[in-house]
Amino acid sequence: MQTPKKITLALMLSLLACATTFSHAEETDAKKQPAKHVLLISVDGMHQADLDWFVTAYPQSTIARMVREGANYTNARTPFPSDSFPGMVGQVTGGNPKTTGIYYDDAYSRGLLPAGTTSCAGAKPGAEVYYAEVNAKDMNRLDSGQPIPGLYADFTKISQLTGHAQDLLDPKTLPVNPETCSPVYPHQYLQVNTIFEVAKQHHLRTAWSDKHAAYDILNGPSGKGIDDLFAPEINSSVTDPSAPAGAGDDWTKDNTNTQKYDAFKVKAVVNWIKGFDHAGNNSLGTPAIFGMNFQSVSTAQKLNKSNYYIDPKNPSTVMTNGLGGYTLNGAVPGSVLQSALTFVDGQLKTMVDALDLSKTVVILSAKHGQSPQNRTALTIINDGNMIDALNCAWENNGAGCKDPAKTHLVAHAIDDDGILMWLTDRSTKATRFAKKFLLAYSGTGIGSDALGNSVSKPFTQAGVTKIYAGEEAEDLFGTKHGDERVPDVVGIAQQGVVWAGGKLSKIAEHGGNAHQDRHVPIVVWGAGIAHQSNDDHVETTQIAPTILSLLALDPRELRAVQIERTKALPDLH
């Protein structure tokens, strides 16, 4: 009989042998690097249900080919809140808001000073952190005020836009660091590093294209993660803002214009594929990590009506007065949305045709979905009136609640299809008051009939099913007590509720926790990827470690991966 000491020694030798074998296996797998390049595509707004419908309706499409030949993860979820910023940041960091510090593109920090602060000594912290079109040097221009001469006579000149998007930001619009009294750029606000930064540390090239110069945030804390960040401003004027008529509608108000806008970015991606910069100049080599977001699907889902759209069955024909969103109770994309989906597929084909698929993996996903899909479920609640009523009830002084000696309870709020509030008073008394008030708040909102006409819609409980306040909100996100960025009040929307103004300006939104907000596709296709359909629950944050693994880089170089133990997508062969 072996003694206990001998058994222990034998076990240790066995474990050592196993560990050595595992180490060699990992090294061997790393040498079998599946890809030299990863192209990441976010089709903002796309639901898994949209992907499924499109593949069935268009079996010969590029998207159908990707699903047929690649790995299709059918049960993926975005981070909550389902906003563009936490959604995209999650894909490139591997982290959720509790780790990244990014809750929304329009949020609040109790540790910063308001934009424009120049005298910081003794100033009280607490500031809106709004990273979007408002940060551009000129938000009405497609080039964010670079400016590019003759741009509005020839939009192809947008290729002359700088690839250093940080230069397009107006520092006076940025929150201020009280310690340095200097503006906080988006990349400085992010609490963890990105896949772009990891790639740069390994001397690999990177590139990205998105809708605002504020996507400088994807550069990561170093500010140097992306070699070429091409960011035309989507909320700029489609017509020359310096003309006598002034700025007109932006690129999101008509789906034909959104498609034109997206095509600018596709051209940049094709140039990157060919080894050039976004303008098609300089032979730099295809980036190791690169990609873009599409906006056409998102705007087609949100628009009540589009004055013009491309006929999905005849791309050379422009149609008029199309309804946005879905038909058949939200089951089938309507004509404008079908047009957007077929446009995206055609642009994907343009990119795929230029790729070397023996060296490239393509990942298709979305920053967020959109809710509701059924327009007749829509109830728009005027959030301005709701917040005013809450502040008035807290101040309890009548006379319109405009006493300058009293501080409003709500320091900042963002309410698309979920309520996020930051309060000036974080006490239990205040958070409970806000929760109780909202659960008792009722009124009449606006809905839509099947033809896009406004109808009255009553609502109760401020349009929410549940409210998390104070410590409940902290627990919901998993933050530490007293976190300076976490909201104090979080409202989960009733199905179909959107908080907006007093008119039928949109029929869907994102930001909330609804299934339609968060259930998006993840398709991985290309070099070394075998076909599978996987219905395991996965998160879009898993895209980040997956990309690094595909490039034979260590996902643990991502800080968020270490903190949250984010795994690469499962069973990816």
Q: Where does 150-298 show beta strands of DSSP type E? A: 176-177, 182-183, 207-209, 228-230, 289-294
Average pLDDT, the chain: 93
> Is it the case that residue 7 has pLDDT exceeding 60?
no
> Is it the case that residue 16 has pLDDT exceeding 50?
no
Mean pLDDT of all residues in 392-415: 80
> What is the pLDDT, as a whole number, of residue 406?
74
DSSP assignments along 77-120, one per residue: E--SS--HHHHHHHHHHS--HHHH----SEEEETTSB-TT----
State the virtual CA torsion across 534, 538, 540, 542 in degrees, nearest 10: -100
Q: How many CB atoms lie within 10 A of CB 505?
A: 14
Choice among 6-10, 465-469, 525-529 with the minimum mean pLDDT: 6-10
The sign of the dihedral angle between the CA atoms of 313, 315, 321, 326 is: positive
Q: Report whether 367 contacts 87 (CB < 8 A).
A: yes
**Listing from the earlier edge strand, what are the strands of the sheet with 418-423?**
410-415, 418-423, 489-493, 464-469
Buried b (16+ CB within 10 A) or exposed e, 307-340: eebbebeeeeeebeebbbbbbeebeebbbbbbbb
Mean pLDDT of all residues in 405-427: 94
> Which helix (H) or strand (E) covers residue 260, if one does?
helix 255-273
27-45 per-position pLDDT tens digit: 334 346 779 999 999 999 9
> What is the pLDDT, as a whole number, of residue 405?
66
Q: At what angle do helices 62-69 and 335-354 cross, to 10 degrees?
A: 70
> Is it the case that residue 178 has pLDDT exceeding 50?
yes
- Where residue 407 falls among pLDDT bands split at 50, 70, 90? confident
Cα Rg, the chain, nearest whole Å: 25
274-287 per-position pLDDT tens digit: 999 999 999 999 99
> What is the pLDDT, as a whole number, of residue 32?
61
> Is it the case that residue 483 has pLDDT exceeding 80?
yes
**The one-letter amino acid at 33:** Q
> What is the pLDDT, as a whole number, of residue 269?
98
364-394 per-position pLDDT tens digit: 999 999 999 999 999 999 999 999 999 999 9
> Is it the case that residue 13 has pLDDT exceeding 70?
no
> What is the pLDDT, as a whole number, of residue 573?
77
499-525 per-position pLDDT tens digit: 998 899 899 999 999 999 999 999 999
Mean pLDDT of all residues in 478-483: 95
> What is the pLDDT, as a whole number, of residue 303?
96
The candidate with the shortest Cα–Cα distance to 251, out of 370, 41, 241, is 241
> Is it the case that residue 444 has pLDDT exceeding 70?
yes
Question: CA 32 → CA 35, 549, 554, 555, 572, distances in Å?
Answer: 9, 11, 14, 16, 14
Angle, alpha carbons 353-358-363 (nearest 5°): 70
187-239 per-position pLDDT tens digit: 999 999 999 999 999 999 999 999 999 999 999 999 999 999 999 999 999 99
> What is the pLDDT, as a whole number, of residue 34?
75
Q: Report whether 324 contacts 317 (CB < 8 A).
A: no
> What is the pLDDT, as a whole number, of residue 396?
79
> What is the pLDDT, as a whole number, of residue 26?
35
Question: CA 541 → CA 36, 76, 520, distances in Å?
Answer: 21, 10, 12
> What is the pLDDT, as a whole number, of residue 373?
97
Structure tokens at 270: 């094709």
Question: CA 99 → CA 317, 374, 540, distances in Å?
Answer: 47, 34, 15
> What is the pLDDT, as a whole number, of residue 313?
85
Question: CA 92 → CA 290, 388, 418, 562, distances in Å?
Answer: 11, 37, 24, 14
> What is the pLDDT, as a whole number, of residue 404?
65
> Which helix (H) or strand (E) covers residue 483, if one does?
none
Q: Report whether 219 contacts 166 (CB < 8 A).
A: yes
